[in-house]
């Protein structure tokens, strides 16, 4: 049994297609994860802005937004850093995925 050039070409093409598929799926997954991070950050920011518009101040704690403004996100997957400096200044908000390296 011998392998000719046509068979080698087909094998190389098959491997290239599999590799391209894996890279495509990986790229889609990464993009989706980044969009979810942005959505969580935007939800926290919008809840804080709503609180400021209604009450005239930004809350000191993230838990206040959860309890009074129905903020919810997957706490098993994301960590939200919420640092309020003053009641009239927008808090620092950062969202990271648990287990991800923080740059």
Distances (CA, A) of 22 to 16, 47, 60: 10, 38, 44
pTM of the model: 0.67
What's the distance, CA 47 to chain centroid?
18
Digit-coded pLDDT (tens) for 25-84: 666 665 555 788 899 999 999 999 999 999 999 999 999 999 999 999 999 999 999 999
Residue/partner pairs of 79-86 with CB below 8 Å, 24 or more apart: 80/40, 80/41, 80/44, 82/44, 84/58, 84/59, 84/60, 86/58
DSSP, res 95? E
């Amino acid at each position: 049994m011998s392998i000719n050039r046509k068979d080698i070409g087909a094998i190389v093409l098959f491997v290239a297609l599999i590799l391209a598929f894996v890279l495509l799926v990986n790229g889609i997954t990464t993009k989706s994860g980044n969009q979810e991070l942005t959505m969580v950050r935007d939800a926290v920011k919008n809840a804080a802005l709503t609180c400021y518009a209604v009450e005239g101040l930004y809350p000191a704690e993230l838990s206040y937004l959860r309890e009074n403004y129905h903020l919810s996100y997957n706490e098993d997957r994301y960590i939200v850093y919420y640092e309020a400096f003053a009641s009239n200044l927008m808090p620092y908000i950062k969202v990271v995925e648990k287990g991800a390296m923080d740059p």
